[in-house]
């Protein structure tokens, strides 16, 4: 371990060199390669801490080739998001972009009153620009604040936060809820290829209005219900929803772990990150390099056309025809700040699906379908301002 001014340590964690910092509630590790954020330990000073994020068993050394970022853990920022197999305007980006695969630099660390922050930076090579990622912890809060600032990178591109959650072993023990969405669609092309040892359960190119009833190749209620996970063992599926961009509160998503009794949440600006991909991986990819080893839930907030990559997302497609954006146009003279918050709260034993979120002056109250409420002390105004107000 190497301590930098007593604030940041450098450790090798699950085969990845990582920066580690903490405050009185959270300990956070972020990898040098790809800036993947995991492990993150919430309630770190208590007897039963919570670690919600998935760390992949894929331990191969990271390279510039392949279909996935080998680091593959926790939350990471994708620019461009998606497979990126097809070139775009002569550009060939790696899967999920250089931001998810290449080395970042630590350019700042500071402790200011109640905030502890590190600042990371990367300069992509395929398209000129600079990406700055500021990760902040606030004393007394089990939350991580992430402000990703994109400078340059002029032109159209996809982007997304790619959170990957660990899932319990028992079926339907992770309950997924979100703020209302106005458009939902299964992957418009085959997501899993049987020729490669991959299998999917959901229908192709089907629309839906509720996660609990998604068109599937099996007609059973359990097969159609994508509001709980893990389900459909042996399958790998993808769907996407789009938020209403008109609103004055953050869009939200929650995952309630009914085994470990906690609620994970994420907050976003629906004007900046209008789409949300759910990647439901239940050992449904049997070919190399997956080898039937991956069981996780991806909750991926961004601006994209499923995982098709930059070329398909920047062209007219079924989603743009429905009136929703699938890419963002970056400008050299207008840096874009993508603000995102993730956090955890303990919940009582009989706490089920979240049915609504009430934004209060000093936090968010999540109310379950049983009428129970849990309060997360969090600076939700950060989503729109990138700064911390009084709580």
Domains of the chain, each with CATH number or no CATH:
2-168+230-351 (2.70.98.10)
pLDDT over threshold 90, residue 292:
no
β-strand partners of 325: none
Please report which confidence band the pLDDT of residue 389 belongs to, taking 50, 70 and 90 as the band edges.
low
Helix (H, G, I), strand (E, B) or coil at 384: helix
Helix (H, G, I), strand (E, B) or coil at 318: helix
Across 91-105, 145-159, 198-212, 284-298, least confident range: 284-298
Work out the burial of residue 252: count CB atoms within 10 Å of its CB; fewer than 13 is exposed, 13-18 middle, 19 or more buried. buried
Q: Are residues 299 and 276 in contact, defined by beta-carbon separation less than 8 angstroms?
A: yes
- pTM score: 0.95
Across 4-13, 151-160, 290-299, least confident range: 4-13
Give dist(CA 214, CA 192) in Å, integer.
17
- Average pLDDT of the segment spanning 308-335: 96
For the chain, the helix, strand and coil percentages under 3-state DSSP, each to the nearest 5:
5, 45, 50
φ and ψ at residue 319, rounded to 5 degrees:
-80, -45
Q: How far is CA 314 from the centre of its chain?
A: 21
pLDDT over threshold 70, residue 66:
no
**With pLDDT > 90 as the criterion, what percentage of the chain qualifies?**
87
Please report which confidence band the pLDDT of residue 296 belongs to, taking 50, 70 and 90 as the band edges.
very high
Q: Are residues 95 and 83 in contact, defined by beta-carbon separation less than 8 angstroms?
A: yes
Q: Are residues 255 and 264 in contact, defined by beta-carbon separation less than 8 angstroms?
A: yes
Give dist(CA 235, CA 348) in Å, integer.
31
pLDDT over threshold 60, residue 62:
no
Q: What is the pLDDT of residue 58?
A: 76
Q: What is the pLDDT of residue 247?
A: 73
Please report which confidence band the pLDDT of residue 290 belongs to, taking 50, 70 and 90 as the band edges.
confident
Is the dihedral angle over the CA atoms 383, 35, 79, 277 positive or is it negative? Answer: negative
List all residues 6 or more positions away from 277 whose beta carbon is below 8 Å from its beta carbon. 160, 238, 239, 240, 298, 299, 300, 302, 304, 306, 307
Q: State the chain's mean pLDDT as an integer.
A: 93
Give dist(CA 187, CA 254) in Å, integer.
22
Of 258, 268, 194, 188, nearest to 227 by C-alpha is 258
Give dist(CA 213, CA 222) in Å, integer.
9
- The label of the residue with tokens 């392949």 reads 66
6 DSSP assignment: T
Q: What is the pLDDT of residue 287?
A: 85
pLDDT in tens, 219-247: 666 689 999 999 999 999 999 999 988 77
């Amino acid at each position: 371990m190497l301590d930098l001014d007593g604030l940041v340590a450098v450790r090798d964690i699950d085969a990845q060199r990582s920066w580690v910092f903490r405050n009185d509630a959270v300990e956070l590790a972020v990898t040098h390669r790809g800036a993947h954020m995991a492990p993150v330990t919430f309630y770190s000073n208590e007897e039963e801490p919570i670690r919600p994020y998935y760390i992949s068993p894929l331990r191969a050394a990271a390279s510039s080739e392949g279909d996935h970022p080998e680091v593959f853990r926790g939350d990471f920022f994708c620019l461009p998001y998606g497979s990126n197999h097809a070139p775009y305007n002569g550009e060939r980006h790696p899967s999920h972009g250089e931001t998810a695969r290449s080395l970042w630099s630590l350019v700042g660390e500071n402790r200011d009153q109640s905030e502890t922050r590190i600042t990371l930076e990367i300069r992509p090579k395929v398209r000129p620009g600079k990406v700055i990622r500021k990760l902040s912890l606030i004393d007394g809060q089990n939350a991580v604040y992430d402000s990703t600032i994109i400078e340059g990178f002029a032109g159209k591109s996809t982007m997304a936060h790619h959170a990957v959650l660990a899932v319990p072993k028992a079926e339907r023990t992770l309950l997924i809820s979100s703020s209302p969405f106005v458009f939902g669609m299964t992957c418009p092309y085959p997501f899993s290829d049987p020729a490669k040892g991959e299998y999917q359960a959901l229908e192709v190119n089907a629309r839906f209005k509720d996660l609990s009833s998604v068109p599937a190749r099996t007609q059973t209620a359990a097969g159609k219900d994508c509001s709980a996970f893990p389900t459909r063992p042996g399958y790998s599926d993808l769907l996407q929803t789009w938020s209403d961009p008109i609103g004055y509160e953050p869009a939200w998503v929650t995952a309630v772990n009914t085994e470990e009794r906690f609620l994970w949440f994420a907050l976003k600006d629906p004007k900046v990150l209008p789409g949300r991909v759910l990647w439901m991986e239940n050992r449904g990819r049997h070919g190399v390099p997956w080898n039937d080893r991956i069981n996780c839930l991806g909750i991926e907030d961004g601006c994209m056309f499923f995982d098709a990559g930059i070329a398909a997302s920047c062209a007219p497609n079924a989603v743009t025809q429905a009136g929703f954006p699938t890419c963002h146009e970056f400008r050299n003279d207008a840096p874009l700040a993508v603000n995102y918050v993730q956090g955890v709260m303990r919940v009582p034993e009989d706490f089920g699906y979240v049915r609504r979120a009430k934004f209060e002056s000093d936090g968010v109250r999540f109310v379950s379908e049983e009428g129970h409420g849990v309060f997360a002390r969090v600076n939700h105004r950060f989503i729109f301002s990138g700064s911390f107000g009084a709580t």
